[in-house]
């Protein structure tokens, strides 16, 4: 009889675990907000910003936001917290965008089901929806994260554009991500841009040689020299990381780095390094890039998450919840 009872319990969790708490899973919010489809609310706000507010580059912004959040103390929405010394004040995060969109989504969800949906989950769901609007393929997002309450600029230690492939692999491995995941996630640069200051040394003084990076194609070198003059009296210009289809989530980024058209040093090196070049070759010839990119994004979303019993669900994504004051008494 005990064995039969155990079997019933197992079958319940297999069939209905999408409606249970306690771990990260697809469908975590199903049935928890009445008839409201939580993911549908997120999708509607993202689409409104994309079509009505003309935020056509929101995919690049949110891909960067999710990566920068997850690689610092895990996917806990700590990047969203305001404060004089918060992560948002760190130099690598100075150009992170999309905060207003996240606020709008949170406001819409709070109106439907107060205190239910975490800001960390909003980042993951909104990023997926923005990827789809930019030509990518739908992927199921696991939810059930909770929000962190610590956000310090001093904790922000993100990989530099000049990081070596081997060091990058080690860094991703520390987050339980493989070198395959790393290469696919760098594919997020298919809709990204970079400022000239991040790669100017590759144009004029690569490794202090006084000349350009020899791995750069002559075409790209000429392009970047025009966009990023050696001496500029104007602001720091930007250049797309995917020189072919900078507004679309596709595998053209990988096609271009194979031709020597990688703008950042790490982008170019993954196409040349023995540790990763075969992965890049496979992606160039793989019609199922979209599915595998989505799988890598799901794995990124699992990095050091807080789940049931940890963290909190913020009422506002910009501030931690006020802790109740407990009056003590004399024994």
Rg (CA), the chain: 22
Q: State yes or no: is 189 an active-site residue.
A: no
Q: Residue 255 corresponds to which tokens in the numbers above?
A: 């096609």
Q: In the prediction, which pLDDT does 323 show?
A: 77
Quick one: pLDDT at residue 286? 87
Q: Residue 264 has what pLDDT?
A: 98
CA 153/CA 82 separation, integer angstroms = 11
Which of 50, 64, 68, 318 is an active site residue?
68
Please give the Cα distance from 71 to 188 (Å, whole number): 15
Q: So what's the pLDDT on residue 19?
A: 37
Residue 4, pLDDT score: 53
Residues 6+ apart with CB under 8 A from 279: 179, 180, 183, 270
The values of phi and psi at residue 316, to 5°, are: -125, 135
> Over its length of 331 residues, how does the chain's per-residue pLDDT go in tens digits?
445 544 444 344 444 443 333 489 999 999 999 999 999 999 999 999 999 888 889 999 999 999 999 999 999 999 999 999 999 999 999 999 999 999 999 999 999 999 999 999 999 999 999 999 999 999 999 999 999 999 999 999 999 999 999 999 999 999 999 999 999 999 999 998 999 999 999 999 999 999 999 999 999 999 999 999 998 777 789 999 999 999 999 999 999 999 999 999 999 999 999 999 999 999 999 888 999 999 999 999 999 999 988 999 999 999 999 876 555 544 4
User: Can you give the pLDDT at residue 3?
Assistant: 55
Q: Please state, in angstroms and as integers, the Cα–Cα distance from residue 44 to each residue in 119, 132, 139, 239, 302, following that order.
A: 16, 13, 17, 30, 24
Short-list 127, 121, 162, 153, CA closest to 29: 121
């Amino acid at each position: 009889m005990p064995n039969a009872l155990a079997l019933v319990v197992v079958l319940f969790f297999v069939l209905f675990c999408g409606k249970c708490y306690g771990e990260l899973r697809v469908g975590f919010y199903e049935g928890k907000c009445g008839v409201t489809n939580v993911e549908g609310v997120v999708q509607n706000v993202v689409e409104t910003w994309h079509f009505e507010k003309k935020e056509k580059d929101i995919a690049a912004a949110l891909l960067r936001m999710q990566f920068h959040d997850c690689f610092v103390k895990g996917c806990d929405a700590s990047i969203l917290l305001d404060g004089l010394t918060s992560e948002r004040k760190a130099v690598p995060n100075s150009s992170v965008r999309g905060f207003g969109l996240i606020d709008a989504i949170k406001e819409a969800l709070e109106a439907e089901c107060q205190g239910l949906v975490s800001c960390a989950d909003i980042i993951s769901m909104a990023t997926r929806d923005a990827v789809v609007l930019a030509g990518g393929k739908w992927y199921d997002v696991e939810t059930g994260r909770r929000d962190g309450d610590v956000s310090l600029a001093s904790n922000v230690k993100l990989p530099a554009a000049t990081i070596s492939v081997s060091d990058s692999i080690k860094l991703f491995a520390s987050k339980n991500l493989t070198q395959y995941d790393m290469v696919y996630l760098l594919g997020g640069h298919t809709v990204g841009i970079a400022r000239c200051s991040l790669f100017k040394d590759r144009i004029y003084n690569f490794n202090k040689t006084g000349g350009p990076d020899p791995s750069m194609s002559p075409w790209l070198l000429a392009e970047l020299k025009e966009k990023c003059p050696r001496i500029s009296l104007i602001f720091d210009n930007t250049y797309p990381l995917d020189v072919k289809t900078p507004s679309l989530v596709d595998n053209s980024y990988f096609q271009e780095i194979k031709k020597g058209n990688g703008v950042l040093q790490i982008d170019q090196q993954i196409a040349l390094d023995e540790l990763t070049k075969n992965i890049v070759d496979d992606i160039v010839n793989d019609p199922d890039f979209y599915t595998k990119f989505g799988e890598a994004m799901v794995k990124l979303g699992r990095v050091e998450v807080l789940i049931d019993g940890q963290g909190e669900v913020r009422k506002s994504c910009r501030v931690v919840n006020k802790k109740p004051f407990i009056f003590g008494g004399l024994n």
